[in-house]
Amino acid sequence: MQEHWQSALTDMRSKLAAETFETWLAPIGWGGCEGHKLRLLIPNKFYAEWIRSHYLDILLGLVRDKSGIRDVEVCWEVREQTELPQPAQTVRAPEHAVRPVLLPKAAAPARVPKDLNGKYRFDRFVVGTSNELAHAASIAAAANPGARYNPLFIYGGVGLGKTHLLNAIGYGVLDTQPNARIVYVSAERFTNEFIAAVKNHKIGEFRDTYRSQCDVLLVDDIQFLATREKTMEEFFHTFNALYHANKQIVVSSDVDLKQMKEMEERLVSRFHWGLAADIQAPEQDTRVAIVKKKALQEDIVLPDEVAHFIAETVDSNVRQLEGALLRLAVAAELRKQPIDLASARKALQGLQPPREGLITVDDIQRAVCAYSNVALSDLKSPRRHRSVARARMIAMYVCRQRLNMSYTEIGDRFGGKDHTTVLSAVHKIEAQILSQDADVLANVQAVQQRLNRS
Ligand code: ADP
Ligand code: MG
């Protein structure tokens, strides 16, 4: 399969401008294949979005033709930092283009658990008043795992750095205890593995992984367990076993302990044993610092005034700040011109924050319905007709972005949809915006403008 993939790339090289090929396709690494699924290694997650929306169909078409296999699929894997080529070997992209992330300066620990993301370390985290408590607690937990801040409960809205801190704690522990066994898991994966373990009679192995073979347990997005009683119970026992063995436990959540109504009381009370630290949306100065740091890391040349402009325009969460920066970089790359204020204004049109007044879920739903010609009742119904589903996803995305509501709250306001449905809708629209899907962009911008006027 590898030769078919390489040969497809060679074909693409002759079809695309050299710069485009070098920027987007050359950095893709071959990670092997399982059955008909190709594992492709990419420098960062944006590559996946970009390639998916621009070249994937053509690439897969070529691989299918060459191999004669119809059901070829791909999965993306962000390359571990330590596996990246040295800068000298990195493909040279134009001055202003997005280039693969360079090697981190800190020495890599001896043994890095495969689930930790090397991009998320303390030295890449910008500290401001919005996150200083969570950051300080994370540093302390990493320096002295299992001691004072145990368990550590980090909560805050989406895209504010919870996952980043969890990973950084993992790396931080490894800096001083290279043999520590760090287990990073999302509550969703914990749930899926638990269900599979029960089904396949492998509960012993499951418990071994999370109880016996673990010195630091990092559980991301614990709110996912809220309605899953069996898994919650299992997690409760995992928690107790680790806690009593003085192992560090760090948990993140996008809701505050007080709001975890569906979470079992005894579990919530465990989280109270340690420290709960919140992360707020970053203030302007921190946003500027984050954008600048990010540009530096991704080798994007970014004038100061544009950094300030982005930080003023996108004030909700850090993931969106990064998305905005990337959009500018991609637009500049396509125009073959450096980023400047005028192009930034154009590229980020429609993302401006609300001018005044409070916007409600009703306002958002009405604005979306008006734009897409969908009835309000359909928006809240289970209907899956394409245009209805699209409008619903956009409305959910805007609710999340403008009102920073939890997925569960949004689900409630859309006729009682499950929070995972909301989560995947929001992620889907985010991805489409990042890949500059013209339809979705126009739609979201129109809704935003309508809201800003109201
Ligand atoms: P959450 O888990 O809270 O939804 P993430 O940790 O995934 O958020 O953060 C979203 C993105 O924003 C990540 O790429 C992360 O590196 C970045 N980020 C968040 N906070 C900061 C910060 N204070 N400094 C630098 N990058 C940050
Ligand atoms: Mg996260």
In terms of C-beta distances under 8 Å and separation of at least 24 residues, what long-range contacts does 166-169 make, across chains too?
Answer: 166/120, 166/218, 166/220, 166/250, 166/252, 167/116, 167/117, 167/120, 167/121, 167/218, 168/120, 168/121, 168/122, 168/124, 168/125, 168/138, 168/142, 169/138, 169/141, 169/142, 169/216, 169/218, 169/248, 169/250
Q: Which of 5-9, 23-27, 343-347 has the lowest mean pLDDT?
A: 23-27
Ligand 1 atom nearest to 293, measured from its CA: 25
pLDDT tens-digit profile of 411-435?
999 999 998 899 999 989 988 887 7
Domain 361-453 has CATH 3.40.50.720: no
Query: Which class is domain 122-279?
Result: alpha beta
In terms of C-beta distances under 8 Å and separation of at least 24 residues, what long-range contacts does 122-125 make, across chains too?
Answer: 122/168, 122/171, 122/172, 124/164, 124/168, 124/293, 124/297, 125/161, 125/164, 125/165, 125/168
What is the CA(167)–ligand 1 centre distance, in A? Answer: 11
Determine the topology of domain 284-351 in CATH. Helicase, Ruva Protein; domain 3 (1.10.8)
Ligand 1 atom nearest to 165, measured from its CA: 6
Q: Are 236 and 269 in contact (CB under 8 A)?
A: no
pTM: 0.61
Quick one: CA torsion of 99, 328, 399, 221, rounded to 10 degrees? 20
pLDDT of residue 104: 38
Ligand nearest to the CA of 290: 1
CA atoms of 348 and 263, how far apart (whole Å)? 39
**Model confidence at 207: pLDDT above 90:** yes
Ligand 1 binding site (Cβ under 6 Å of any ligand atom): 120, 124-126, 131, 156, 158-164, 290, 318-319, 322
pLDDT of residue 45: 63
Q: Which residues contact 144 (CB under 8 A, 6 or more apart)?
A: none
The pick from 318, 326, 426 for probing ligand 1's pocket by mutation, whose C-beta has the most ligand atoms within 8 angstroms, reads 318
pLDDT of residue 454: 63
Q: Are 398 and 447 in contact (CB under 8 A)?
A: yes
Q: What is the mean pLDDT of residues 20-41?
A: 85
**Model confidence at 392: pLDDT above 80:** yes
What is the CA(441)–ligand 2 centre distance, in A? Answer: 24
Determine the topology of domain 2-78 in CATH. GMP Synthetase; Chain A, domain 3 (3.30.300)
CA atoms of 23 and 19, how far apart (whole Å)? 6
* 27 vs 289, residue with greater confidence: 289
Q: Which of 8-22, 56-70, 105-119, 197-211 has the lowest mean pLDDT?
A: 105-119
Q: What are phi and psi of 77, to 5 degrees?
A: -135, 125
* 449 vs 38, residue with greater confidence: 38
Ligand 1 atom nearest to 128, measured from its CA: 23
pLDDT tens-digit profile of 101-139?
333 334 444 466 778 998 899 999 999 999 999 999 999
Token digits for 166?
């969890």
Would you list the domain boundaries of the chain?
2-78, 122-279, 284-351, 361-453
Q: Are 234 and 138 in contact (CB under 8 A)?
A: no
